[in-house]
Chain A
């Protein structure tokens, strides 16, 4: 079993839909959770990061962490065609970048 599991998709939704992207992890030591967005032929760019359980909101994006279930989610409200990208989750221990574990990414297409 991989330490981080992420459904690869592709996920296709109509413009304006609420999108839910999910990752599960197996290492209880993970304390540091991030979501990155990667457009085609570009580098990953940070969307959200959090150290704690619960929700963190930034504009149309909400990151949710449930440590008891070892489950993290990214919700996108009022999705736009510009949200079409691959979304990567990453988990780490004590914020140490050397020990980051990456999901394989979920491909999202938002159709106008």
Chain B
């Protein structure tokens, strides 16, 4: 039981490039979410999903897209990377939207 798996662990992008951060969970959790963590800002919710085919915006969605075609996977797409998107990104899941979150170990992204 791997829990929440995020890939890649590290990534460096140039401004304007696009990429997809992968997230997979093997706990059959309905709820999945993406956070970014920045010094002095804490954890901020980017997008979330309450089940396959259903996604919605969180607190800071601009510049990011998500989709949820299966229960297990919830990729986060950066459409045109900007230096302001330099951050640590965490994927988290829970049995439903009402239970404590389980986090992956993050993707550290630098945009130059």
Chain A contacts to B: CB under 8 angstroms: 34, 36, 41-46, 49, 88, 94-98, 100, 102-105
Report whether A97 and B101 are in contact in the complex, using a CB–CB cutoff of 8 Å.
Answer: yes
Report whether B103 and A97 are in contact in the complex, using a CB–CB cutoff of 8 Å.
Answer: no
- A34-B100 CB under 8 A given contacts A42-B105, A98-B58, A104-B40: yes
Report whether A97 and B43 are in contact in the complex, using a CB–CB cutoff of 8 Å.
Answer: no
**Hey, which chain A residues are within 8 Å of B97, CB to CB?**
95-98
Give the number of residue pairs across the A-B interface with Cβ within 8 Å. Answer: 54
In this assembly, does B75 line the interface, its C-beta being within 8 Å of a C-beta of chain A? no
Chain B contacts to A: CB under 8 angstroms: 4, 31, 33, 40-43, 45, 48, 56, 58, 90, 92, 94, 97-106, 108
> What residue of chain A has the Cβ atom nearest to residue B9's Cβ?
A41
Minimal beta-carbon separation of A25 from chain B (angstroms): 13
| Complex Cα spacing A95 to B40, Å | 25
> What residue of chain A has the Cβ atom nearest to residue B58's Cβ?
A98
- A43-B43 CB under 8 A given contacts A94-B98, A97-B48, A97-B101: no
**Hey, which chain B residues are within 8 Å of A43, CB to CB?**
4, 90, 92, 103-106
